[in-house]
Amino acid sequence: MSAPNKSYDPVEVEALKPEQIERMRDEALAAFAAADSLDALQEAKVAHTGGTSPLALANREIGALPPHAKADAGKRVGQARGAVNKGLAARQTELEAERDARVLVEEAVDVTLPHDRVPAGARHPLTTLSERIEDIFVAMGYEVAEGPEAEAEWFNFDALNIGPDHPARGEADTFFVATASDSGSAAGSGGTGSGVVLRTHTSPVQIRSALDRELPVYVICPGRVYRTDELDATHTPVFHQVELLAIDEGLTMADLKGTLDHMVQSLFGAEMKTRLRPNFFPFTEPSAEMDMLCYVCRGASVGNPDRPCRTCSSEGWIELGGCGMVNPRVLTACGVDPEKYSGFAFGFGIERMLMFRHNVEDMRDMVEGDVRFTRPFGMEI
Ligand SMILES: [Zn+2]
């Protein structure tokens, strides 16, 4: 840049001529107006306000002017740059407003549209009830035991004192998978050389537990069992049982009764209780049916014609399952000395318990997989 020169006339400097300054300003404003996006405006901004823009270059020439000419040229260039910056800011505001309006339209979410989220699954009420029952016994020190569903006949029947002629072994009740002759080495036969059945109760898990474990034994055996029943409102060929086995020194029916009371109180409330009625099962001696107080009328309908109860037919009690002291023959089959040890056992169906607890009237609802049935039980996972 040249030194100030008193004879220097700004009008002679091409870049500082008033019409040139106006042209630069108008070109800048026209470029801003023509910019149709914020990116285009940014380019125009660099071209017309940046360090190498015509107005910035003209501004540099002012320094070389003689003092008398500086103010005039400076004012002209300053006004032009002011107008350019104002025009730039105005166009910037316009384009930002346009962008915001466009985003609102393009990215709008219609909150009234039906959502397409896949609902999270939940566990079946039979599973949650089964685990709730397990929890009650685990809290008392019991262990949860499991076993195969295709089971050796020996575990399913013989070890439980259910002899070859017992009606429960008949084909009317049992799914036979393999006969004794063709299952000598079949999976699940346990090397007993007996046939294989789909287990008809979870009792074989008790036998396996007693054989496998050190004494004393306290196990709860939940699981799926099979009988050749037709599916109807109160029967299903596949259902769930929970069975319990305790073997220790000095166990009596009083221990059994106390355990049953604790279970129904945990499930149905503190005022619940059970009663035992004599019965016969091959694997327990003595054996009993266990009833629990009717969960609807709590016994208030008995002898009270004004308050009849449909659930218990005004009898006050509901049959829950079977129980008893483990038959010494079963203890012997498990290698336990019946002179030294005694045991108690009980078992009941989870489906039946679910029907009691939640007033389910038709067992088919539990197996049809309709979420309208399971949803009211909650989304516990
Ligand atoms: Zn009742």
pLDDT band for 142, please (50, 70, 90 cuts). very high
Cβ proximity of 293 and 272 under 8 Å: yes
3-state class (DSSP) for residue 143: strand
pLDDT given at position 161: 82
Distance 360 CA to ligand 1 centre (A): 15
pLDDT at 326 over 90: yes
pLDDT given at position 6: 52
For the ranges 4-8, 126-130, 148-152, 188-192, the lowest mean pLDDT is seen at: 188-192
3-state class (DSSP) for residue 36: coil
pLDDT at 10 over 70: no
Distance 277 CA to ligand 1 centre (A): 18
The mean pLDDT of 71-81, rounded to a whole number, is 86
pLDDT at 172 over 70: no
Distance 318 CA to ligand 1 centre (A): 8
Cβ proximity of 244 and 142 under 8 Å: yes
List, for residues 225-236, the tens digit of each pLDDT value.
998 888 888 788
Distance 263 CA to ligand 1 centre (A): 19
pLDDT given at position 187: 45
pLDDT band for 5, please (50, 70, 90 cuts). low
Distance 317 CA to ligand 1 centre (A): 7
Neighbours of 1 (CB within 10 A): 6
Q: What is d(CA 337, CA 320) in angstroms, rounded to the nearest whole number?
A: 30
Chain mean pLDDT for the chain: 85
The mean pLDDT of 213-219, rounded to a whole number, is 92
Distance 312 CA to ligand 1 centre (A): 4
pLDDT given at position 173: 81
Nearest to 206 by CA among 244, 169, 239: 244
- Max CA pair span of the chain: 136
Residue 42's Cβ-side half-sphere holds a number of Cα atoms within 13 Å equal to 4
Distance 27 CA to ligand 1 centre (A): 96
pLDDT given at position 255: 95
* Ion ligand 1 — residues with CB < 5 Å: 294, 296-297, 309, 311-312
The mean pLDDT of 280-308, rounded to a whole number, is 89
